[in-house]
Amino acid sequence: MNLRLYIRLRTERNRARVAHKFLCFPALAALLTCLTLTSLCEAQAAKKIQPNVSKQPFGKMDDGTQVDLYTLTNAHGVEARITNYGGIVVSLKVPDRTGKLDDVVLGYDNLDGYLKNNGPYMGALIGRYANRIAKGRFKLNGVEYRLAQNNGENHLHGGLKGFDKVFWSAQSGTRPNGASLTLTYVSKDGEEGYPGNVRVTVVYTLTNANELRIDYSATTDKTTVINLTHHSYFNLAGQGQGDILQHQMFINANRFTPTDQSSIPTGKLKNIRGTPFDFLKPAAIGARIDQDDEQLGFGHGYDHNWVLNKQGQALTLAARVREPKSGRIMEVFTTEPGIQFYTGNFLDGTITGKAGKVYNRRYGFCLEAQHFPDSPNQPGFPTVVLQPRGKYRQTTIYRFFAK
Ligand code: GLA
């Protein structure tokens, strides 16, 4: 081989090597990436938590009925504990901005706490009529019905033994989008003074989108009134971790229903502009709560119904609350026309709740999706009448995330 030929061959070989390097390396890198990703995905899939429900005894009611506590978990490890006594949400653990789970609802460690002290209706389902009916009276088709006057001279939250104090039949299950608990209760004709046998179903679903979704439905065999809600006290910093006055609140409402001194609506819808009831621009709950305002005086703080900005029964955003330290945010969506924003004004430190935490004034707030208070006596408010062939339906979602 002469020198020129030798040099040419070497050059060709070197070119081929370089080409080989540049062509093969990306292919190799892509192959390696692919393999790594596949094994990562497999590891993730193996690690992924499936929605789950488990059940444990929670205690016995005074008549000996065994009550259970259901633990619902979603694919992210978010956990809701719900009992079939009163449909009470006993605990709700959601992540802060670092992923740390905390229990964000007030309550008791055991059934006894709820049986003995649940004057504040902590975590419970409320019915047949959430909120107040003036003087415990209303008329339907010319017949007057009389109810317990358990809040001064008014009727509150369904009476002496409302849906918050009854045993619900329970059926738990999992679906691809989360874990659920279906609760049913039949309220007999005349129970707490209300007409009609009313069959109620409430489905709690803890979805993989970190939502606690509540689907309510009810039917009756006689014309009646109905207004259901859920009464959790939230503290997004964690239950028992101080008051809720620094939480930033947004309420999607231009109007609220002002009340008399006993918290019965006057029937008027008042514009929130220029009042401490304006939460269209997010504001700290505590910023104006103690202002010298007649309505705040009547409620001892916020304890009012906001008229949500919406068309008909669409599921729309009602409120958004942000706790600055943890970064937790809760959004409430509902099909209802109103929401009661109550700031725990009647908590007074006499209750020792979960993990020995003492609940002082304004240690929790409620966002109770509802029809307006005293609607049975207020012809101008959206109707709460349920007819035998009709069906009551409500969906309310509490959605959690952190920033
Ligand atoms: C509702 C009422 C409040 C109070 C609480 C329970 O939110 O509007 O006035 O009665 O329930 O303490």
Q: Which of 303, 343, 368, 371 to mutate to test the pocket of ligand 1 (most atoms within 8 A of CB)?
A: 303
pLDDT tens digits along 343-365:
999 999 999 999 999 999 999 99
Contacts of 168 (CB under 8 A, 6+ apart): 84, 85, 86, 87, 125, 183, 184, 185, 202
Asked if residue 303 has its Cβ within 6 Å of ligand 1, the reply is yes
* Residues 6+ away with beta carbon under 8 Å from 58: 67, 68, 69, 83, 85, 90, 110, 111
329 Cβ inside 6 Å of ligand 1? no
Q: Are 279 and 272 in contact (CB under 8 A)?
A: yes
Q: Which residue has the CA at smallest separation from atom 12 of ligand 1?
A: 120
Higher pLDDT, 34 or 97: 97
Distance 304 CA to ligand 1 centre (A): 9
Ligand 1 midpoint to CA 120 (Å): 7
CA of 172 to the centre of ligand 1 (A): 30
Mean pLDDT value across the chain: 92
The mean per-residue pLDDT over the stretch 206-226 comes to: 98
In this prediction, residue 176 carries a pLDDT of 87
**Residue 157 and residue 163: Cα distance in Å, rounded?**
8
Probe target for ligand 1 pocket from 366, 367, 374, with the most ligand atoms within 8 Å of CB: 366
Which of 358, 157, 381, 343 has the alpha carbon at shortest distance from 251? 343
342 CA: nearest ligand 1 atom: 7
Confidence check: pLDDT of 64 > 70: yes
Tokens for 49?
């938590």
Q: How confident is the model over 165-190, as pLDDT tens digits?
A: 999 999 999 988 999 999 999 999 99
Measure 344 CA to ligand 1 centroid, in angstroms. Answer: 8
User: Is residue 37 pLDDT above 80, yes or no?
Assistant: no
**pLDDT at site 47:** 54
pLDDT at 7 over 70: no
Q: What share of the chain is helix, strand, coil (3-state, %, to 5)?
A: 20, 40, 40
Tokens of 289: 């709560």
Is the pLDDT at 45 greater than 50? The verdict is no
Neighbour count for residue 390 (Cβ, 10 Å): 13
Q: Is the CB of 299 under 6 A from ligand 1?
A: no
Closest residue by Cα to atom 4, ligand 1, is 120
Residues 310, 378: contact at Cβ < 8 Å?
no
Task: Report if pTM > 0.85.
Answer: yes
CB 120 near ligand 1, within 6 Å? yes
Percent of the chain whose predicted confidence (pLDDT) is above 90? 87
Burial class (CB in 10 A: 0-12, 13-18, 19+), 137: middle
pLDDT at 152 over 60: yes
Q: Provide the token pair at 87.
A: 């449909």
Whether omega for the bond prior to residue 128 falls within 30 degrees of 0, making it cis, is: yes
